Every structure is written in C-alpha cells, then in structure tokens.
Amino acid sequence: MTAATSKTAGQLISWVFVVLVVAVPLVMASWFALCPQYGDPACPTNARPLDVLAAYRAAPPVLMQTFLVVNLAVAYLFPLGYIAMGTASWRGSPWLTALGVVCGWLAAIAWGYIADQNVLLAHMAPAGHDTEFAALERAYFGDWHILAVAIGWVAGHLLGYLFLGLAFLRAKVVPAWSGLLVIAAVPVMGPFAYGFQQNALQILGYLMVAVACIPAARTLRRLAQ
C-alpha cells in the first residue's frame, strides 16, 4: 500500500466516524421511539411477555417495518458509536477513553440478542399462540446466560457514556459543555427514564448525547483533513 493510498484510507475511516459519532445516538433514539410498546422504556418488557405480544400485534405495519430496519442497523452501528467518540478523545485521555470504549463494547454485545428477539417477536405476535410463546420468553429470560448479557448492556452503555464524557472533559478536544452533556445524559436515559417509567426521558438522553457529539464530529473532521 502506497503512502497516498494509506492516507486516503485513513481519511475515509475518519469521515465515517465523523458521521457515526452523531448518527448512532440518533439511531438509538429512533429505536426506543419505534419499539412497539410505545412509551415503555423497557420495551420489549421481558417481565410482561403477554403485553409485549399484544403490543407487537397492534403496532401499525409501517411503523413495525421501520422499527425492524432500525433494529437491524443498531446491532451493527451501536459499538461503532463508542469507538467514534473514543477516537475524538483518545490522544488527550487514553485511559478514560479505553474504559468508555470497552464498556460500550460490552453493552453492544447484547444487541445481537435484542435484534434477534425483536424479529422473533414480530413473527410470534400474529401467530396467536400467546400462552406458549409467553412461557418460552419467561424461560429464555430466566436463563443466567441471558441475565449476564442483560447486566452487561445496562451497566456497559451507561458507564461507557460516563467514562467518555469524562474523557471529553479531560482531553479538552471539545467544549466543556459537550462532556458535561454526555455525563448528564447518563442518569436521564437510565435511572430517571426507568424510575419514572418515561420512555421520553430515554429518548431525550440519546438526543443529548447526539448534540454533545457535534463538537466531537468537528474534531474528527479536522483530523480527517
């Protein structure tokens, strides 16, 4: 590979991260807005599988198909969002950045399961065998392997944003408000959203991250040039 080709490849990757650092939290906000148990931050609510099946059955077809497309995209894009954020802060705060990216990666593992579950629910709902499917869902989510993945998601995505927000502050590659906004988004999308059972707060949390990452996108754009 020539020096010119290597530089071009590096610039292309940097431009991909410029887009993803803002786009990924917007995609996440879209996922939670479109999940068929509209308004429930825990959608799909594993503790109430009968309610989940009823909600997926009642969802408008256009919204359901849009949700499934976003659902597929999240499984691939979510981990890249943390890497993109980390690329902006890496030089100025390597340890906090590394912690944030690792936590985000652990959280992202869950999305293979979540994406698969939602496709399965979309096919289960019209079949009308709710009692049998609900029993299967309860058994599935009672398995300790799935519990371990779920813990990784809950702790990982919140700690990932917390550490990366702190990395933004320490690295000083973005305005201080950017790092503070990422940190503030953590309790909004986590404890507040679930404590008050308000999905709007979870969506707001991801929108806060998207806004906070606009200066990071500008930093990455400078690195790409």
Rounded Cα distance between 129 and 163, Å, is 44
Is residue 82 within 8 A of residue 102, CB to CB? The reply is: no
Rounded Cα distance between 94 and 98, Å, is 6
Amino acid at 145: H
Is residue 191 within 8 A of residue 124, CB to CB? The reply is: no
What pLDDT is stored for residue 27 in this prediction?
A: 99
What pLDDT is stored for residue 4 in this prediction?
A: 64
Rounded to two decimals, the pTM is: 0.94
What pLDDT is stored for residue 3 in this prediction?
A: 66
Is residue 37 within 8 A of residue 51, CB to CB? The reply is: yes
What pLDDT is stored for residue 12 in this prediction?
A: 85
What pLDDT is stored for residue 1 in this prediction?
A: 59
Rounded Cα distance between 130 and 170, Å, is 51
Mean pLDDT by 10 residues, the chain (225 residues): 68 91 98 97 93 97 98 97 96 97 97 95 94 93 92 97 99 97 99 97 99 97 81
Rounded Cα distance between 99 and 161, Å, is 10
Please name which of 151, 82, 68 lies closest in space to residue 115, comparing C-alpha atoms: 68
